A = this chain, B = another copy of it.
Amino acid sequence: MLDRFLESAATLSTPTLGGHGEVTAWLAETTARGSFTTEAIPFAELDGWSFDPDTGDLGHRSGGFFTIRGLDVHDPAGVVTAWTQPIIHQPEVGVLGILVKEIDGVLCLLMQAKMEPGNVNVIQLSPTVQATRSNFLRLHGGAATKYLEHFTEPGRGTVLVDVLHSEQGGRFFRKRNRNIIVETTEDVPLHEGFRWFTLGQVHELLRQDNMVNMDSRTVLACLPMNATARPPERRAGELGPAIVESFRQDPEPAGIQNWLNQAKGACELTAKLAPLRDVGRWTRGERVIAHEEGRYFEVVAMSVTATGREVRSWTQPLIAPCGTGLVGFLASRARGYLEVLLQTRVEAGTPDIVELGPTVQCMPDNYLHLAPERRPPFLDHVRTAQGKDVKYDVVLSEEGGRFYRAENRYRIVEVADDVRFAATPPGFRWASLAQLSALIPHSGYLNVEARSLLACMRALC
């Protein structure tokens, strides 16, 4: 039997939902209904946000939302043995939930067209529920979170997935969100800005720049797929059949767990919160907190005005990255099924410090002045690949509620056998998609960039 989500991935239109034209029209209509303006302002003009006189931490007077604090990192065995940096501290577990329901015999996903201040465009597709705990408990007032009850009340549906996943470990301190997928058979009212999509329709948008947000991608990566039938034939040279085939394999992920846990056990990095005031090599100006070399990211203050049925304005800090990142998998069909090249990735802010990351994850601009042999392994391969080896090449945004115009280029590059069977550098290892699918329903394995890229890869099937 083909998995129900694979069936949905192969379905581009249904009688009730329509097809590509209806999706495009709905997106245009939703976009026309409201807009956003954002303007950089001095920190002094933030409303309700201020720097603590003792610690220099940037927080809200309610004690809620999030705080920009300092992080003090020591890594005796690292290339850099100690550093300090600003970091987002938000010690609560949010909910990222996608509600699914069978419509016209096909499993469909309830998605939201969501405006967020940091988006490069106005709206992006977000999960059914994307809410911090403070949000959905309405600690700051605000409207009730729509559809929340499907994810928090017992017995409202069949829970397909519920897993605590980390987020960007270079920017968040030990942040984790629940990634939840619930199947319902109830009648579900459709609120403004929400629409049912087949997985194939979501995948079409995921192959376009900046249309499917990070919160959606991490939940999509967790969709359970498990095919027992041989997949339909597809065009030669494409990855689709090999991806579907991977859902039929026996995963046996213990070898990957062994490799990752070896790295976790060996890692000596320690990271603890510190006053933002004590963060060296970063300076606080009127409008930005920036690194002395202009690298990594800046903390900025923004005034946001949302127009729509009503006008809402607020101010908030955001993290603005310095440049566009590159996130890429090298992929191979050398053994007849699909494998990707992983790295054990050390990030000071993740709960376990070490997680599995994609082959390449960096800001290329930080390295291109170096000789090729001093750049991160495989950077040039992933960055410069062209033609039919490039299976996926899309610019996607990170979380628009915390990051300002944070874009990464996501690439999947297929390699020939000589690369696949060459020795890998320390800290790199090939893993099958089946192994990753077995690990993704559990915490502490795949970092957010690897999960995002896994969702992108599935959009090729």
Interface residues of A (CB under 8 A from B): 91-93, 95, 133, 152, 154, 159-164, 178, 180, 254-255, 257-259, 261-262, 264-265, 270, 351-352, 441-444
Contacts of A351 on B, CB cut-off 8 Å? 351
A441: contacting residue among B254, B264, B265, CB under 8 A: B254
Contact A255 B93 (CB under 8 A): no
| Contact between chains at A95 and B442 (CB < 8 Å) | no
The contact of A261 among B160, B178, B444, by CB within 8 Å, is B178
Q: How far is the CB of A55 from chain B (nearest CB, A)?
A: 16
Contacting pair B164 A261 (CB below 8 A): yes
In Å, the complex CA distance between A352 and B166 comes to 13
Q: Report how far A262 CA is from B162 CA in the complex, Å.
A: 9
Residue contact B93 to A254, C-beta cutoff 8 Å:
no
Partner of A254, one of B152, B159, B255, B265: B159
Query: Of B159, B161, B178, B255, which one neighbours A159 at CB under 8 angstroms?
Result: B255
Identify A442's interface contact among B152, B160, B259, B442, CB under 8 A: B442
- List of B residues within 8 angstroms of A441 by Cβ: 254, 257
Contact A265 B443 (CB under 8 A): no
Contacts of A152 in B (CB 8 A): 262
Cross-chain contact A163 with B93 (CB below 8 angstroms): no
This chain: how many copies in the complex? 2
* Distance between Cα atoms of A133 and B261 in the complex (Å): 13
Beta-carbon contact of A133 and B265 below 8 Å: yes
Q: Give the one of A95, A161, A255, A261 with max B CB within 10 A.
A: A261
Expressed in whole angstroms, the minimum distance between the Cβ of A129 and any Cβ of chain B is 13
Task: State the CA gap A107–B110 with chains docked (Å).
Answer: 49
A162 to B265, Cβ gap below 8 A? no
Give the shortest distance, in Å, between A220 (CB) and chain B (any CB).
16
Beta-carbon nearest neighbor of A153 in chain B: B262
Docked pose: A444 CA to B93 CA in angstroms = 15
Known A93-B265, A265-B133, A351-B351; judge A180-B258 contact (CB<8 A). yes
Q: How far is it, in angstroms, between the C-alpha of A92 and the C-alpha of B268 when the chains are bound?
A: 8
Q: Which of B95, B255, B257, B270 contacts A163 (CB under 8 A)?
A: B257
Closest Cβ neighbor of A133 among chain B residues: B265
Name which of A154, A180, A259, A265 has the most chain B CB atoms within 10 A of its CB.
A265
Query: Nearest Cβ in chain B — how far from A84, in angstroms?
Result: 19
Q: If A254-B441, A444-B443, A444-B444 touch, does A163 touch B133 (CB 8 Å cutoff)?
A: no
Whether the pair B159, A258 counts as a contact (CB closer than 8 A) is yes
**A93 adjacent to B161 (CB under 8 Å):** no
| Selected contact of A162 from candidates B159, B180, B261, B444, CB within 8 Å | B261
Residues in B whose Cβ lies below 8 Å from that of A93:
261, 264-265
A351 to B176, CA, bound (A): 13
Chain A to chain B contacts (Cβ below 8 Å), 18 pairs: A91-B270, A92-B265, A93-B261, A93-B264, A93-B265, A133-B265, A159-B257, A160-B254, A161-B254, A161-B257, A162-B261, A163-B257, A163-B261, A164-B352, A178-B265, A254-B441, A257-B441, A443-B444
Q: Within the assembled complex, what's the spacing in Å between the Cα atoms of A163 and B162?
A: 19
| Bound Cα distance A268, B174 (Å) | 15
- From residue A345, how far is it (CB to closest CB) to chain B in Å? 17
Smallest distance from the beta carbon of A395 to chain B beta carbons, Å? 32
Which residue among A352, A442, A444 has the maximum number of chain B CB atoms within 10 Å of its CB?
A442
Complex Cα spacing A257 to B254, Å: 20
Bound CA–CA A162/B252 (angstroms)? 12
Q: How far is the CA of A91 from the CA of B265 in the complex (A)?
A: 10
A159 CA / B93 CA spacing, docked (Å): 33
Residues from chain B with a CB closer than 8 A to the CB of A159 are: 254-255, 257-258
Whether the Cβ atoms of B162 and A257 lie closer than 8 Å is: yes
| CA distance in complex: A164, B444 (Å) | 10
Query: CA A160 – CA B252 in complex, angstroms?
Result: 8
CA distance A254 to B441 in the complex (A): 9
Contacts of A443 in B (CB 8 A): 442-444
